[in-house]
Amino acid sequence: MTERTTRDGRPRTVLLRRGEIHTPADPFATAMAVTGDRVAWVGAESAADALAPAADEVVDLDGALVTPAFTDAHVHTTATGLALTGLDLSPARSAGEALALVRAHTAGRPGGGALVGHGWDSSLWPEDRPPARAELDAAAGGRPLYLSRVDAHSALATTALLDLVPGVTALPGYHPTGPLTSDAHHAVRAAADAALAPAERRAAQRAALGRAASLGIAAVHECAGPEISSEADFAALLGLAAAGEGPLVFGYWAGLVTSAKEAAEVRELGAAGAAGDLFVDGSLGSHTAHLHHPYADAPHTGTAHLTAEDVAAHVAACTEAGLQAGFHAIGDAALSAVTDGVHAAAGHLGAARVRALRHRVEHAEMLTADTVAAFADLGLVASVQPAFDAAWGGRDGMYARRLGPGRAATLNPFAALSRAGVPLAFGSDAPVTPLDPWGALRAAAFHRTEEHRIPVRAAFAAHTRGGWRAVGRDDAGVLAPGAPAHYAVWETGRLVVQAPDDRVARWSTDPRSGTPGLPDLTPGAPLPRCLRTVVDGRIVYDRLNE
């Protein structure tokens, strides 16, 4: 990690030159100077010649692209690290393969400690069912084992883990042999989290932040809460990030706030807001997203965790305290509850006060024209995950099976949100979908439903500036003099301008337009490779000279 100051204590100046600088300050810039933790200058090679003698370091980019670093606006850091370092069931293509992965993982970790895994998706398996509890008990050798589904809204647990949760069989969402949902799932997840050793937790968090840095991500929004992880996990992650080893972490705590005292308690945890995965509903994959009309493949409308009245009370209390609020909402009924509730709070406190806090909604998948308009009117940030459409969209995808093709085609309407002026912040929801910012841009620009596609430039802004604006920072996410020095260096092919409307693309690539290009994200084209990631002027990942 390179220091930002010289030995005599003055801010260190790094001059990068002979590359492509993605900046609004100069569409033809090839060089950039960083002093301390700020961008000092961007421009052309002729000016770089004059700056070079005074620089403490000159970096020859050799044609590499420099962009603002990415922000991932929705991450579960410890769970992501555990998937990276532990039991990842996403490769399983049958219940038998999942059980084989469990057996191999268990054999590699002798002893009696709890085991944690993630990523199974039985909707893709020929059996169309997950392993039964007895099968898991045998595969895990009788040890406590927690396996979250790919969407993290249901899970499998062995008998030994259930035995650690007194009264679990009486909780809503308990199933004697199959996946657990609702309160039963939350209780078992808490038991699994409590069983993690501190060293294992720290290793997982470091692995996740290291992976983020290697992908050009300078900041992540941790979405934690009492039904997702624990205060101890949250504090450990914020402490690790504060040491400055990797990307910045903005923590959200999903605690329901109804008073100034509860708002203060959220702040005392170090949280940026009482937001993130404060569940209004669940997920489509687990049949727990709350719908106005029943699922196409189940005779119910999912699960409602909060009402519009609950939403209104939370938003009002947070707004009074000057604290950002937010919710997890996926189904159309859940999103109606959110917008109705925020409207009610705005009616009580005044719309300007509510808009000023930039309250946010995570996922926001099943939007209608009315709820999109409400987002715009209320200044709600849409924290969305384009990889969801890539994974589950299309006529034959999970969304179509759950909702039918007609309703499925309305999901993740990024173009409608963008046209309405709704602030977009892109993320992954890792480990639900992997940390993969360029892949997310590709998914948004080449959405499976053509009418929902947005230009790559708009997607790039949502994955860079959008994440900063979602935490109230309007100065970051762009390379311009005075901006924070969060940037990434990329090895990539030709730079182009891609937009759903070919007329726009043709004009934008004309030199007269002065539109800076970005890597070609056409499906099948190789994605850029990160060579260096810099956070606040510090190198947190470096392969530039290898």
Q: pLDDT tens, 78-107?
A: 999 998 988 899 999 999 999 999 999 999
Residue 193: the pLDDT is 84
Average pLDDT over residues 478-506: 84
Average pLDDT over residues 272-286: 96
Question: Where in 136-235 does DSSP place strands (E)?
Answer: 145-149, 155-157, 217-224
Average pLDDT over residues 178-201: 89
What is 74-195's CATH topology? Diaminopimelate Epimerase; Chain A, domain 1 (3.10.310)
pLDDT in tens, 26-52: 889 999 999 999 999 999 998 999 999
Contact residues for 511 (Cβ-Cβ < 8 A; gap 6+): none
CA distances to 31, 132, 264, 321, 474 from 354, rounded to whole Å, are 41, 47, 18, 11, 18
Distance between CA atoms of residues 59 and 485, nearest Å: 15
Whether omega for the bond prior to residue 126 falls within 30 degrees of 0, making it cis, is no
3-state SS track over 348-366: HHCHHHHHHCCCEEEECCC
Distance between CA atoms of residues 341 and 337, nearest Å: 6
CA distances to 170, 382, 410, 515 from 451, rounded to whole Å, are 46, 18, 9, 24
Residue 529: the pLDDT is 98
The CATH number given to 13-69+479-492+528-542 is: 2.30.40.10
Task: Give me the sign of the Cα torsion angle 194, 198, 200, 205.
Answer: positive
The amino acid present at 96, given as its one-letter code, is G
CA distances to 95, 289, 309 from 277, rounded to whole Å, are 29, 13, 18
Share of the chain above pLDDT 70, in %: 97
Q: Are strands 31-35 and 13-17 parallel, antiparallel or unpaired?
A: antiparallel
Q: Which of 184-193, 267-276, 457-466 has the lowest mean pLDDT?
A: 184-193
pLDDT beyond 60 at 1: no
3-state secondary structure of 296: coil
Average pLDDT over residues 255-264: 97
DSSP label of 144: -
Distance between CA atoms of residues 487 and 535, nearest Å: 7
DSSP 86-133: SEE-TT--SHHHHHHHHHHHHHTS-SS--EEEEEE-GGGSTT-SPPPH
Boundaries of every domain in the chain: 13-69+479-492+528-542, 74-195, 198-471
- With beta carbons less than 8 A apart as the criterion, state whether 314 and 325 touch: yes
Of residues 464, 529, 460, 458, the one with CA closest to residue 493: 529
Average pLDDT over residues 269-285: 97
Residue 234: the pLDDT is 97
Per-residue pLDDT band at 502 (split at 50, 70, 90): low
CA distances to 62, 219, 543 from 82, rounded to whole Å, are 37, 19, 25
Share of the chain above pLDDT 90, in %: 83
pLDDT in tens, 510-539: 555 567 889 999 999 999 999 999 999 999
Residue 192: the pLDDT is 87
Residue 513: the pLDDT is 57
Residue 69 CA to its chain's centroid (Å) = 15
Distance between CA atoms of residues 214 and 72, nearest Å: 13
Scan for tokens 């962009």, then name that residue.
67
The CATH number given to 198-471 is: 3.20.20.140
CA distances to 149, 175, 296, 334, 338 from 285, rounded to whole Å, are 9, 17, 12, 15, 21
pLDDT in tens, 112-165: 778 898 999 998 899 889 999 999 999 999 999 999 998 888 899 999 999 999
pLDDT beyond 90 at 441: yes
pLDDT in tens, 322-350: 999 999 999 999 999 999 999 999 999 99
Contact residues for 314 (Cβ-Cβ < 8 A; gap 6+): 256, 257, 258, 274, 278, 306, 325, 327, 341
pLDDT in tens, 204-223: 999 999 999 999 999 999 99
Per-residue pLDDT band at 507 (split at 50, 70, 90): very low
pLDDT beyond 60 at 76: yes
Task: Give me the sign of the Cα torsion angle 510, 512, 513, 519.
Answer: positive
3-state secondary structure of 22: coil
Contact residues for 358 (Cβ-Cβ < 8 A; gap 6+): 324, 379, 380, 381, 423, 469, 470, 472
Residue 470: half-sphere exposure toward Cβ, Cα within 13 Å: 35
Residue 39: half-sphere exposure toward Cβ, Cα within 13 Å: 30
Which structure tokens are listed for 342? 């925020």
Residue 206: the pLDDT is 97
